Amino acid sequence: MAIRALYSSATGMAANSFNLDTIANNLANAGTTAYKQNRANFEDIYYEHFKLPGVQDNQGNITPTGTDLGIGVRVQSTEGDFSQGSIVPSNGTYDMAIVGDGFFQVNDGTQNLYTRAGNFSLNANGNIVMASADKGYQLLPNISIPQDALNVTISSDGVVSYQQQGSNQIQIAGNIQIARFINNQGLLRQGDNLYTETTASGTAQIGNPGTEGRGQIRQGFLEQSNVEPVRELVELIKTQRNFELNSQVVQAADQTLQTVANLRRF
């Protein structure tokens, strides 16, 4: 009956509406520092089996196929694309980009969080913090820069050094460390360019930049979003057309049901 078609096409419209929201969020964050684009994955739903494949017919022959009917589609998951974004110069002393795998580790006072966004600055205490208007996220391990520090340098392996006025001696403020995860897709997005670890992502593996597969740090650079607007616009067009096709199926099913309802008039 056309009732099945109504419900199946309704699931298709719902799934494509979700995909449209995902694409819209990607495009909205095309200029967000170190944003990683999301992709919606879909799966077909439960099937009703009228005749199973491989059964014997009246003559004892094995049937090569069966008869079944699905009831639509649903969102399976959203998967983040953690490929490297473009690295562009910013000239900020505390701006940093990770070239390769890994995340900066920060703390909001209650828990550890992870980010690819390297737009850091100093707070009133001279600590390196993530530049956020809502809340202070302190870089871990804690690195403090004196007020009279000159020529602050961050090496590719995370060593933060500086000079003080009236002295040519190099002082070491600390060493920035990078966190890696077995499964980046398992990280939980929190907004504010931040992630938290989950059971799916595995425990953070902390170490020095450039070691055990971790990326290196580039001072004075920022990683850009890895969203490709052209590809997202193509996906947008496809999603719109899929939505329209499902809406046409709803109209066709409605016309079929209307014809059935009008049979008594003939």
Q: How far apart are CA 236 and CA 230, in angstroms?
A: 10
Indicate the pTM of the whole model. 0.88
Pair (115, 48) in one structural domain: no
Q: How far apart are CA 119 and CA 230, in angstroms?
A: 26
Pair (113, 194) in one structural domain: yes
Pair (201, 233) in one structural domain: no
Pair (110, 204) in one structural domain: yes
Pair (65, 92) in one structural domain: no
Taking a C-beta distance cutoff of 8 angstroms, is the pair 208, 175 a contact?
Answer: yes
What are 60-118's pLDDT values in tens digits?
788 888 888 888 999 999 999 999 999 999 989 999 999 999 999 999 889 999 999 99
What are 205-226's pLDDT values in tens digits?
999 999 999 999 999 999 999 9
Q: How many CB atoms lie within 10 A of CB 134?
A: 8
Distances in whole angstroms, Cα of residue 213 to Cα of each of 208, 210, 225 = 10, 7, 22
Pair (100, 220) in one structural domain: yes
Residue 266: pLDDT band with limits 50, 70, 90: low
Please give the tally of structural domains in the chain.
Answer: 2
User: Given a cut of 80, is residue 135 above it in pLDDT?
Assistant: no
Q: Choose among 246, 257, 245: nearest CA to 9.
A: 246
Largest CA distance in the chain: 103
Full residue range of the structural domain in which residue 44 is found: 1-81+228-264
